């Protein structure tokens, strides 16, 4: 049967003869291919959404800004020295800083854990339940599956990140008020400029975690145990952060996957200090490219025996 844009889609007996496939392929419009990819993406993203485990994880992520804001509000002296790059001390100044302080606290462990958990579901999780073999005989091209799974992971993570920021901002504004805010370098910016900066921070963290997601996807193609993926991915992030604190290793610090993560604070300076943002983005893109290629090479001709 034909769709509006002239592409032929199989839904009846006559279309299943594979020898007619080449003729069919010629009539495949780009629009149909894109729609099919979107459908697969929706299915992948939907799998993340329907898992109660994932929502429990989101609950944990959201609890941090709530607990943080309430604690700061209750302890009136606000003695919060020594936590993060100066955001915690500023939360009473403007509610927006609750979101930033929460990000700072969750960046080392909770966010990598969240990313590792959803990466584990993609390939290792499907291999573990055996659904991977049924996906591949549908059929679906392994490269297409890998890329769409990666994109679904990034979108799911972005969703969690935005929820975290929105909840932090909402409870912060409710408890400490909004209005214009003072940047880390002392200048005042308007409230909406602050919101824009916050979104830029999310974007930057997203790019950083695209690198970690590629590492997670790669590990996911190596094993059939989702838990192993979680452990390995969190271990990579943690070891990287530990090595980052050893001064004797300063020569390799710039190459560590987590080295530039905290640079997001520079987006809250006036003017924005791009000095560490740019290498952060380049590093994350490099990690994404390397480990996605590795995942592709590994998954592309892997024997599916589970």
Partner 1 sequence: MSVSSAVQAAGEADGGCAVRTHRLTKRFRSGQVAVNAVDLAVPRGSVYGFVGPNGSGKTTTIRMLLGLVRPTAGRHELLGLSMPRQAGRVLPAVGALVEGPAFHPYLSGPANLRRLDAVDRTADPRSAGPRIGAALERVGLSSAGNKRYRNYSLGMRQRLAIAAALLRPRDLLILDEPTNGLDPQGTREVRSLVTRLSQEGVTVMLSTHLLSEVEQVCTHVGVMRTGSLIAQSSLAQLRGSTATGVRVETSCPQAAAAVLIECGLGGVVPGPGVVQADLGPYEPEALVVALVRAEVPVRGFTCVQPTLEELFVSLTGEGFDVDG
Question: Considering only residues 5, 16, 190, 275, which one is a binding residue for partner 1 as defined by CB under 8 A?
Answer: 16
Closer CB to partner 1, residue 139 or residue 271?
A: 139
Residue 232 CA to residue 179 CA, distance in Å, equals 43
Say if CB 221 and CB 227 are below 8 A apart.
Answer: no
Span of 43-51, 182-190, 210-218, 263-271 interacting with partner 1 by CB under 8 A: 43-51
Span of 12-20, 71-79, 219-227, 270-278 interacting with partner 1 by CB under 8 A: 12-20
Question: Considering only residues 6, 78, 130, 275, which one is a binding residue for partner 1 as defined by CB under 8 A?
Answer: 130
Question: Considering only residues 27, 29, 36, 73, which one is a binding residue for partner 1 as defined by CB under 8 A?
Answer: 36
Closer CB to partner 1, residue 10 or residue 83?
A: 10
Residues 141-200 that bind partner 1 (CB under 8 A): 141, 145
Say if CB 284 and CB 112 are below 8 A apart.
Answer: no
Residue 248 CA to residue 230 CA, distance in Å, equals 29
Q: What angle do CA 303, 305, 306 make, to 5 degrees?
A: 135
Q: For the CB of residue 225, give the shortest distance to partner 1 in the complex, in Å.
A: 16
- Looking at residue 184, the DSSP 8-state letter turns out to be T
Say if CB 102 and CB 84 are below 8 A apart.
Answer: no
SS3 257: coil
Closer CB to partner 1, residue 123 or residue 277?
A: 123
In 3D space, the residue among 61, 63, 97 whose CA is nearest the CA of residue 80 turns out to be 97
Q: Does 11 bind partner 1 (CB under 8 A)?
A: yes
Q: Does 26 bind partner 1 (CB under 8 A)?
A: no
Q: Does 278 bind partner 1 (CB under 8 A)?
A: no
Q: For the CB of residue 4, give the shortest distance to partner 1 in the complex, in Å.
A: 11
Backbone torsions φ then ψ of 290, nearest 5 degrees: -65, -50
SS3 46: helix
Say if CB 181 and CB 253 are below 8 A apart.
Answer: no
Question: Considering only residues 76, 245, 250, 305, which one is a binding residue for partner 1 as defined by CB under 8 A?
Answer: 305
Residue 145 CA to residue 129 CA, distance in Å, equals 17
Q: Provide the binding-site residues for partner 1, judged by CB under 8 A.
A: 1, 3, 9-13, 15-19, 21-22, 24-25, 33, 35-37, 39-40, 42-43, 46-47, 50-52, 129-131, 133-141, 145, 301, 303-305
């Amino acid at each position: 049967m034909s769709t509006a844009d002239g592409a032929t889609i199989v839904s009846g007996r006559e279309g299943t003869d594979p020898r007619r496939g080449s003729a069919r392929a010629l009539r495949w419009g780009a629009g149909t291919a894109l729609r099919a990819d979107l459908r697969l993406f929706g299915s992948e993203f939907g799998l993340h959404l329907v898992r109660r485990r994932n929502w429990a994880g989101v609950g944990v992520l959201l609890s941090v800004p709530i607990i943080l804001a309430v604690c700061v509000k209750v302890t009136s002296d606000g003695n919060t020295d020594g936590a993060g790059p100066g955001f915690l001390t500023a939360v009473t100044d403007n509610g927006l800083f609750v979101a930033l302080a929460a990000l700072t606290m969750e960046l080392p462990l909770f966010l990598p854990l969240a990313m590792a958990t959803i990466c584990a579901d993609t390939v290792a999780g499907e291999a573990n339940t055996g659904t991977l073999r049924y996906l591949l005989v549908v059929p679906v091209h392994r490269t297409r599956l890998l890329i769409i799974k990666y994109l679904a992971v990034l979108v799911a993570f972005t969703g969690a990140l935005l929820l975290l920021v929105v909840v932090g901002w909402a409870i912060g504004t409710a408890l400490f008020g909004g209005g214009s805010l003072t940047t880390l370098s002392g200048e005042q910016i308007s409230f909406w400029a602050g919101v824009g900066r916050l979104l830029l921070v999310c974007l930057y963290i997203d790019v950083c975690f695209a690198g970690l997601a590629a590492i997670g996807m790669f590990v996911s193609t190596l094993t059939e145990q989702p838990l192993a993926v979680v452990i390995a991915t969190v271990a990579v992030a943690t070891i990287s952060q530990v090595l980052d604190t050893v001064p004797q290793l300063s020569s390799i610090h710039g190459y560590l996957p987590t080295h530039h993560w905290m640079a997001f604070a520079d987006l809250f300076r006036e003017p924005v200090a791009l000095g560490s943002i740019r290498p952060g983005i380049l590093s994350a893109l490099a990690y994404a490219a390397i480990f996605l290629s590795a995942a592709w090479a590994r998954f592309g001709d892997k024997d599916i025996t589970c």
